[in-house]
Each structure stands twice: as structure tokens, then as C-alpha cells.
Chain A
Amino acid sequence: MCLGIPMQIVSIDGFNARCEAKGVSREVSLFLLQGEDINIGDHVMVHVGYAIQTMTEQEARSTWELLDEMLAAEGNDA
């Protein structure tokens, strides 16, 4: 969904980045951020496997608070 998931970059290989959030590691494409200065340790907003923008650690944390609430609420709708 359009919410997106904040992740932190742990390694970069061309347009591919290994990103982490909450101990989960994923391969994320940086193809939509070409031309941007992206570094290991940066936080990015990830949507369907693609980083769509960089973000601060603070912003990543507040988004995760929201996602945690949503995940906790899931399963109540069956």
C-alpha cells in the first residue's frame, strides 16, 4: 500500500541496496533516486521494493511507530 516502509541502507552495489528495518533485511532498488547523494546509513522510504525518497532517522522512527500500531491491529478484521 501507499504507506511505504522506512528502511536503513547497510550496503550499496550500483542501483541495488541492502536495507534493514526491524531486523529484516531486503534488497531495495535505488533506481528512482539516481542523481541523489545516497550513502550507507541513510534512511529511505521504500515502496514496492523501490526507494522513493530519502528521509531523516527521526521521520523513519515516527513512521515505524505508526506501522507497529497497524501491524498490531491486523488480524482483527477477519
Chain B
Amino acid sequence: MLEAKDWLAKIHALNIDRPLRIMNVCGGHERSISMAGLRTALPEQVRLIAGPGCPVCVCPEEDVYQAIQLAAHANVILVAFGDMLRVPVNVAKGELRSLEQAKAAGADVRPIASPREAVQIARQHPDRQVVFFAAGFETTMAPVAAMLLEGVPDNLFLLLSGRLTWPAVSMLLDSGEAGFHALVAPGHVATVMGPEEWAFVVERHHMPAAVAGFTPVSLLAAMYSVLRQLIEDKRFLDNCYPELVKPGGNPAAKRLLAQAFEVSDANWRGIGIIPASGYALAPAYAAHDARLRFPDFNDAERKRAGQMPPGCDCARVVLGKIAPDECKLYGAVCTPKYPVGPCMVSDEGACRIWWSTGVRAKEHA
């Protein structure tokens, strides 16, 4: 089996005569790339771009606001994956800016690590209403679907902010200003959904794509594959994570996703509506829909409702238009300790990842 240094040698032996940009769309990929220092190990002409790979970062501001209001005013137990608790919303000074602040002010907000914990908490508190604020991509939404199909108590409601990964890439490619030449496709999304979902990159856009796992070896194999495809002008969808990514993906997971959810147009924070990019509860689960159960906890008239915080460039970071350290707030007023935008909050956010691997603020002119 080839090791990382062997793949690097193979990449350096390629005749790369022009700048080539490879996008990844997975926070796990970005973390592994940053930690292993792959950016500096690759030939100078190759640039790695972090694209839309962070579900917390694109979770609509109004959904976070609604979760905060529910926690603060509806006397519910609000449970969410831990990343979500520190994401700030746009409210006037003195109002609750995050679920963490709501918790500090006395609201019953609980971080969870699994949908199973949401069910356990609801069962332990049959006299309370429990709202599970669930943001995530396919890899997380399949477990949420499994939770629903396995049966949930009547007092558990979902505030769903699930998203599909490929439509954001499709939107970027259709825009004509994608800004990258090849795609490294997300390994665990493809484990669940199958690698075929990414065939459109090759077939419709004539762009090389390779599914990668999370080790430097798998990532470098995928980078070698797409670079070689570009140089030899032969495009195909490669699978560099065959240990987990099977043709067709995980059939049971796909069936459960189709039973629990419908795919709908969905808003991405700072980016806007992307067609057929979100999961909504199927009608059979309407009784568990927090949006139907608590319709009065949003305020679309709020100043900057739905937007990124003032000065925050998270939307362009998410789309790979700029690198994290090209945002003027990065490391200046926005740090993991005092995050301004969601990309500095989440473990899957590019800003947070770059900061944790030692990238500090650039000098801005």
C-alpha cells in the first residue's frame, strides 16, 4: 500500500504547468488537510480550497433565532449538537445572541452528541416538550431519519435544518464562476448516499472528481487522481475511499431518509435559497414538526434577520471565494473564544480549523 510520501512524490512528478485549484466540501477533509499540512506539501501550482462543508455555518440565522426564542420563551427543553450552541444571531445589544447565552440566562438548553440522546431526554421528561434543533448534512440526517423511523415519543419535536451537500456544488458550478478545476467529494456523505451523486460534476461540467476518506493517504490519492485527470484530459469519477464507499451507498440509510423527509428548496445562511437542497419532515411526521407546533417564535422583521453579522465574510468563506484569513475579522475581532461568524464556531468551519492549526491574522492594507 502506498504511503502519504509516495502519493506526494507521484503528485510532484506530474507535469503541472498551470495553477490548479481543488475544492473540498467537507469540514473533516479540511481539518485533515490543515492538520497534515498538505497545502505546503503540494506543488506551488496546486491550491486547495475549502468549500461548503460545514452544516452549522450555513444553518439559516432565522432558524438559530427561532431555537433561541423557543428555549427562552416556550418553556421547552432545547437540545442541539454542541457546535450549534455558540452560533451568534443578529439581535440588538442586550438580547440573547446564542443558545449558550439563553442557557446562561436560565433556559433549559442541552448539548447532545446523538439523536438517541434527544429521545432519551424526551422519555425522561414526559411532562415537558423537547425540541431537537437538528442541523446537518446527509451523514447526520440519516441518523435523524433512523431516530424517527425507530419511533419517538409524542413530546419530541424537530426544528430541522438538514441540508444536502451536492446542490451547493451544483449551484457553484452552474454559476460559471466556480473558481476551482476539480472536486474532492465527501467520503461519509458518499458512504451514505453512494458515490454516483457526484457523477454530475464529471458528466455535466466535465470536471474531475474523486471521493476521498479522511486520512492524508486517501486525500492525497484523490488529489493525485483529479490532477492526473486534468493533465491527461481524461475525466471520470474516482472512488479513493472504497473501504467505506460502496456503489449505491448504504441502501437502508437512503430508504430511511426517503421515508422520513422530503427534499425541498432551502435557505443557506448568507448564500440564499438553493433549489432542492434541504430536508423537510415528511407529512407522516408533521406531529413532530417544531415549526408547526410553535409557529410564533420568529421575527422576520428583525434588523439583519437571516444575514451574516456585520463585517462577517463567512458566506464567501463557505463558498470558497476567499480563504479564511482573507476575512478582515479573522483573528482580529473574530476568534474561537469570541466568534463573530459561524465559520469560527463550528469544528467543521474553515476559520475555526485554520485557527486551530496555527494560521493567524494577515496584515490587511
Interface contact A52-B139, CB-CB below 8 Å: yes
Known A29-B116, A29-B143: A1·B28 in contact at CB below 8 Å: yes
Set of chain B residues within 8 Å of A76, measured between Cβ atoms: 356, 358
Complex Cα gap A19–B295 (Å): 40
Complex Cα gap A31–B114 (Å): 14
Interface string of A46-74 (1 = CB under 8 A from B): 01111011011001001101100110011
Set of chain B residues within 8 Å of A65, measured between Cβ atoms: 215
Complex Cα gap A39–B253 (Å): 19
Q: Which of B187-195, B221-229, B270-278 contacts A (4 or more CB under 8 A)?
A: B187-195
Complex Cα gap A4–B143 (Å): 12
Complex Cα gap A78–B338 (Å): 10
Set of chain B residues within 8 Å of A32, measured between Cβ atoms: 142-143, 146, 192, 250, 252-253, 256
Interface residues on chain B, size class: 35 or more
Interface residues on chain A, size class: 20 to 34
Task: State the main secondary structure of chain A at its contact with B.
Answer: mixed
Known A49-B114, A53-B191: A35·B251 in contact at CB below 8 Å: yes
Interface string of B207-236 (1 = CB under 8 A from A): 000000111110000000000000000000
Q: Which of B123-146 contact A (CB under 8 A)?
A: 136-137, 139-140, 142-143, 146
Interface contact B143-A48, CB-CB below 8 Å: yes
Interface contact A31-B150, CB-CB below 8 Å: yes
Interface contact B26-A2, CB-CB below 8 Å: yes
Known A49-B116, A62-B215, A78-B336: A15·B27 in contact at CB below 8 Å: no
Interface contact A3-B146, CB-CB below 8 Å: no
Interface contact A2-B336, CB-CB below 8 Å: no
Interface string of B59-81 (1 = CB under 8 A from A): 00000000000000000000001
A5 to chain B, nearest CB (A): 11
Q: Which of B89-97, B99-107, B347-355 contacts A (4 or more CB under 8 A)?
A: B347-355
Interface contact B356-A77, CB-CB below 8 Å: yes
Q: Which of B315-365 contact A (CB under 8 A)?
A: 336-337, 347-348, 352, 355-358
B32 within 8 Å of A by Cβ? Answer: yes
Interface contact A50-B356, CB-CB below 8 Å: no
Set of chain B residues within 8 Å of A66, measured between Cβ atoms: 32, 214-216
Interface contact A50-B31, CB-CB below 8 Å: no
Q: Which residues of B contact A (CB under 8 A)?
A: 26-28, 31-32, 35, 53, 81, 113-117, 136-137, 139-140, 142-143, 146, 149-150, 186, 188-189, 191-192, 213-217, 243-244, 246, 250-253, 256, 336-337, 347-348, 352, 355-358
Task: List 24 contacting pairs A-B, 8 Å CB cutoff, sorted by A.
Answer: A2-B53, A4-B28, A31-B146, A32-B142, A32-B146, A32-B192, A48-B136, A48-B140, A49-B114, A49-B143, A50-B142, A50-B143, A52-B139, A52-B142, A52-B188, A52-B191, A53-B191, A55-B243, A55-B244, A56-B243, A63-B214, A63-B215, A78-B336, A78-B337
